[in-house]
Amino acid sequence: MSDTLLQKPSGKARDYEEQVFETGAGIEIKPLYEPADAGDFDVERDLGVPGEYPFTRGPYPGMYRERIWTRRFQVGFGSPQETNERIKYLHGQGANGFVITIDLPTSYGFDSDDPIGDGEVGVTGVPISTLDDMETLYDGFGPDAVSYALSIRPPVSSVTLAMLAAVAERKGVPFDKVIGTQQNDPFYQMSGGPLQTVTQFFPLDGTLRLCVDNIEFISKNMPRLNWMVTNGYNLRETGVNAIQDGAFTLGHAFDIFRRARERGLDIDLFPRRASFFLSCSIDFFEEIAKFRAMRRLYARTMREEFGATNPECWRLRFSVQSAGNTLTRQQPQVNVIRATVEAMAAVFGGAQSIHLCSYDEAHGLPTEESSRMALRTQQVIAYESGITKTVDPLGGSFYVESLTNDMETAIRKQLAEIDERGGMIACIREGWLERQINRERVRNQDDIDSGRRNLVGVNRFRIAPDEEIPIKTHKIQADVWGARRGEYLRQYRADRDPQAWADAMAHIDRAWKAGENMVPVLMNAVKNKVTMGECHEAMRQAQSWSFR
Amino acid sequence: MSMHKRILLAKMGLDCHDTGIVTVANILRNAGHEVVYLGLHNFADRVVKTALEEDVDAIGISFLSGQHMTQMRRLIEQMQREGLRVPVFCGGVIPEDDVQALKDMGVADVLLPGLLSDEVAHRVDRLIAREAA
């Protein structure tokens, strides 16, 4: 045996030589599925036809026969200029949908020259500190022509939404023509787990208010803009299982919907542009069943509990990113295979948009080469494999339908527990979610240590480090980017009208205290050259709140 | 000799990916160490101040989003200013090229993804023992 783990004196791995016949979330898998395994499954009631209630078979009638899922490019690095150049290049290659990643300082509402973001400016995404930055991102395109999905959450998404509205105004694009997405998920945008990251730099109640302000502004003014993506992805990446993923994600969306309804928004209007951002992990059939079950459960809840009568409000649409946490640093080329399995599960699950993690995920940020490989993987599935040529090809499979039922039941049970605890936001606030996450993390590590879960190249089939084939890694220039942005912002502040700026800052304070919708107020502010960081500071001060 | 040690763990900078460090904290506690976990969004002054107050035997910092070079440099400079001499290790998603640069900077070990619990515990024991020798 060459398995080095066998020679490790204290190694517990290989305690499980037997296969484990259960899904990742612990649903038992039988040796054979027969018609009776679907229980009281009713084809008309539980499966229906694609594009119709309860949407089990897909959100649209023709699915990929009519339109292959969007293969989104994730872009955002260095500066708005560099990011825009990259978008122009990719646009020329035929792409028209982009996920814009935002750097960490901006994600927390800090300007590029705030010392708190030293070494992080432009690293994981593009910095956006000013209205001009946003306009630069749209250089060469109108916000009615290219679709940008901004990975951003409130409070920051209120400012980016205000900037987007101001850019549309400057370019003469009517609000009702603006397309794209503002993720706008108040909790899960920041890697999911710890509440600390949501509450450290802005008061939570203020964040929730801005989330609903955004929904209100978009649903009244920008009917084509996706106003919220519930980010189940980052949540799943913390290590929770597929059942928890489904329940926590839906529970969160429903909680936000209730708040929007309390604001007086119409349940037959505002959910139309709601969508979800979900993870697709490695457990092939369980993930397919998860997507199908979530779609059905969402439809049933929206119609029966929320009383929506508009079919568009019953339809769950989702984009997928493959699970970064299933990828290994060891033998990174093998990750291409994992991403392929995950992409196929997303396709069988009926995803509207897919982004695959690059094989170098555990080494650093993706390179052009690894991003291209991730795209090519999708293109082979889309254009060569033929699995797209009929709608919901696994529909009616005894196993898949049985597992879809099991997932729906399990997610529903977990949702009932969440409701008993006062809803998902209450569960997050009181630390319940974090306890669930931490329990799963321990379990995951134990399962890998013991070999109960196989991880090729980590607890099985290892190779010596000198046998690894080297890969290119992404080079970051944080110091260069930070210095350049600092100089730009000094100039920007020097060139503005101090009185107009002060008036706009005072306006933020008054409007916050008066409970106004903040988006038009922030729009006025950014037009008067109030920066991202200053907008946040004014809103913090209006709440008599400080963290420094 | 007892291998029971006090170890300070923290995330530094704005990165909030904490699965790795929470898992490592659990591994080290199971291995018999006392872990002081500082949570997210720490900067060098707070880490060093806590390390001094808690009289720890080692400091471990976790990174995922590319801030490891800047933050580790800050940490080591602050330790020098405050005269704190304990081994520092870090871990997370760190490119191969940066591992040697971190070691040259004085980082005792760099724990990369894909280690089993025993390997993590063993590497931390070894780096603390090496410093004590």
Whether residues A172 and A86 share a domain: the answer is yes
Residue B124 has pLDDT above 90, yes or no: yes
Yes or no: say if A373 and A338 are a contact pair by the CB < 8 Å rule: no
Overall size of chain A counted in residues? 548
| Alpha-carbon span A506 to A512, nearest angstrom | 10
Whether residues A288 and A375 share a domain: the answer is yes
Would you report the helix, strand and coil content of chain B in percent, each value rounded to 5? 50, 20, 30
CATH number of the domain within which A428 lies: 3.20.20.240
Task: Give the pLDDT of residue B126.
Answer: 96
Task: Give the pLDDT of residue A192.
Answer: 55
Residue A305 has pLDDT above 90, yes or no: yes
Task: Give the pLDDT of residue A189.
Answer: 65
Mean pLDDT of A190-210: 86
Mean pLDDT of A62-69: 96
Q: Which residue of B has its CA nearest to A118?
A: B70
Point out the residue among A120, A238, A459 whose CB comes nearest to the CB of B14: A120
Task: Give the pLDDT of residue A193.
Answer: 58
Whether residues A281 and A210 share a domain: the answer is no
Lowest mean pLDDT among A19-33, A66-80, A246-260, B14-28: A66-80
Q: Which of A16, A111, A114, A123 to mutate to test the interface with B (most CBs of B within 10 A)?
A: A123
pLDDT tens-digit readout, A148-159: 999 899 999 999
Question: Which carries the bigger pLDDT value, residue A229 or residue A222?
Answer: A222
Task: Give the pLDDT of residue A475.
Answer: 78
Contact call for A197 and B117, based on CB within 8 A: no
Residue A113 has pLDDT above 60, yes or no: yes
Q: Is residue A447 part of a domain?
A: no
| Alpha-carbon span A129 to A526, nearest angstrom | 10
Task: Give the pLDDT of residue B104.
Answer: 97
Task: Give the pLDDT of residue A190.
Answer: 58
Whether residues A92 and A210 share a domain: the answer is yes
Residue with tokens 């082979």: A380
Q: Which residues contact A27 (CB under 8 A, 6 or more apart)?
A: A243, A286, A403, A406, A407, A410
Instruction: Give the residue from A433, A526, A543, A450 showing the smallest Cα distance to A159.
Output: A526
Phi/psi of residue A504, nearest 5 degrees: -65, -40
B10 DSSP β-pair partners: B61
Yes or no: say if B9 and B39 are a contact pair by the CB < 8 Å rule: no
Point out the residue among A12, A118, A365 whose CB comes nearest to the CB of B70: A118
Instruction: Give the residue from B82, B76, B83 showing the smallest Cα distance to B59.
Output: B76
- Burial (CB < 10 A; 0-12, 13-18, 19+), residue A3, is middle
Whether residues A202 and A282 share a domain: the answer is no
Distance from CA of B63 to the nearest CA of A (A): 10
Lowest mean pLDDT among A178-187, A244-253, B81-90: A178-187
Chain A neighbors of B11, CB-CB under 8 A: none
Q: Say whether residue B17 is in contact with chain A using an 8 A CB cutoff.
A: yes
Strand order in the sheet with A147-150: A73-75, A97-100, A147-150, A180-182, A225-226
Whether residues A259 and A180 share a domain: the answer is no
Residue ranges of domains in chain B: 6-132
| Alpha-carbon span A99 to B98, nearest angstrom | 28
Q: Which residue of B has its CA nearest to A361?
A: B93
Whether residues A266 and A363 share a domain: the answer is yes
Pick the CATH number of B6-132 from 3.40.50.1820, 3.40.50.300, 3.30.420.40, 3.40.50.280: 3.40.50.280
Distance from CA of B87 to the nearest CA of A (A): 23
Domain span at residue A328?
230-384+397-435
Q: Is residue A26 part of a domain?
A: no
Q: Say whether residue B101 is in contact with chain A using an 8 A CB cutoff.
A: no
Q: Say whether residue B117 is in contact with chain A using an 8 A CB cutoff.
A: yes
pLDDT tens-digit readout, A330-369: 999 999 999 999 999 999 999 999 999 999 999 988 888 8
Q: Is residue A34 part of a domain?
A: no
pLDDT tens-digit readout, B41-100: 999 999 999 999 999 999 999 999 889 999 999 999 999 999 999 999 999 999 988 999
**A427, amino acid identity:** C
| Alpha-carbon span A314 to A308, nearest angstrom | 7
**A308, amino acid identity:** A
Q: Is residue A194 part of a domain?
A: yes
Whether residues A188 and A317 share a domain: the answer is no
Q: What DSSP state is assigned to residue A367?
A: P
pLDDT tens-digit readout, A517-541: 999 999 999 999 999 999 999 999 9
Point out the residue among A449, A459, A473 whose CB comes nearest to the CB of B95: A473
B59 DSSP β-pair partners: B8, B88
**What is the total count of domains within chain A?**
2
Yes or no: say if A54 and A46 are a contact pair by the CB < 8 Å rule: yes
**Is residue A515 very low, low, confident or very high in pLDDT (cuts 50, 70, 90)?**
very high
Percent of chain A past pLDDT 90, that is, above it, reads 83
Q: Strand, coil or helix: what is B37?
A: strand
Whether residues A374 and A425 share a domain: the answer is yes
Task: Give the pLDDT of residue A7.
Answer: 40
Whether residues A417 and A486 share a domain: the answer is no
Sign of CA dihedral A491, A497, A502, A507: negative
**A113, amino acid identity:** D
Whether residues A486 and A423 share a domain: the answer is no
Residue A6 has pLDDT above 50, yes or no: no
